[in-house]
Structure 1
Amino acid sequence: MDSKGQASAEFILLFGGIIVVVLLAIYMYNRYIGDLSGQINSKEVNEFKNQLNVLGTYFK
C-alpha cells in the first residue's frame, strides 16, 4: 500500500474542489455586479444627470 500516492491523490481532489467552489463564487459575484449595473442606470439616476446638465448650463 502506497500511502504517499493516496495522500497526493486526496490533495489533488481537495484542491480541485476548492478551485470549483472559487470559480462558482466568482461567477455568482460577476452576475451580482451585472445586476447592480442595471439598477444604477435607473430612471432616477438619469433624471439626476439631466438636472446636473441643466445646472451646468448656468456655469458655462
Structure 2
Amino acid sequence: MNIIKDQKGQSAAEYILLFGGVIIIALVALQIYSNYFSQSQNFTAKEDAQQIRNNLTNKTTTP
C-alpha cells in the first residue's frame, strides 16, 4: 500500500511532460516559420506591418 500513497516522482514526471510538450510546440512553430525567415532577406518590421495592414484591408473590402 505504500507504493500507491508514494507520489514523490509524480510531479517530476509531470514537469518533464510539460516541458517536452512546450519544446515540441516550439520546434513545430520554428519549422512552420523557417521558410518565412529564410525567404525574407531584407526583413523589416515596418514593411511587414504594412503588408499585414494591406492584406487585412483587402480582405475586409472584398465581399
Q: TM-score, structure 2 length as denominator?
A: 0.48
Structure 1 outlier segments of 4+, above 6 Å: none
Higher relative contact order (CA 8 A, sep 6+): 2
* Cα deviation, residue 35, structure 1: 2.1
Measure, in 1, the Cα distance between the counterparts of 2:35 and 2:8: 41
**Unaligned stretches of 5+ residues in structure 2:** 42-63
Provide the aligned length of Structure 1 versus Structure 2. Answer: 39
Which residue is equivalent to 1:17?
A: 17
Q: CA RMSD for the aligned pairs?
A: 1.9
Q: What does residue range 1-60 of structure 1 map to in structure 2 within 5 Å?
A: 1=2, 3=5, 6-38=6-38, 40=40
Letter in 1 for 2:28: M
**Unaligned stretches of 5+ residues in structure 1:** 42-60
Percent identity among equivalent residues? 5
Q: TM-score, structure 1 length as denominator?
A: 0.50
Which of the pair has more CA radius of gyration?
Answer: 1
* Cα deviation, residue 32, structure 1: 1.2
Higher helix share: 1
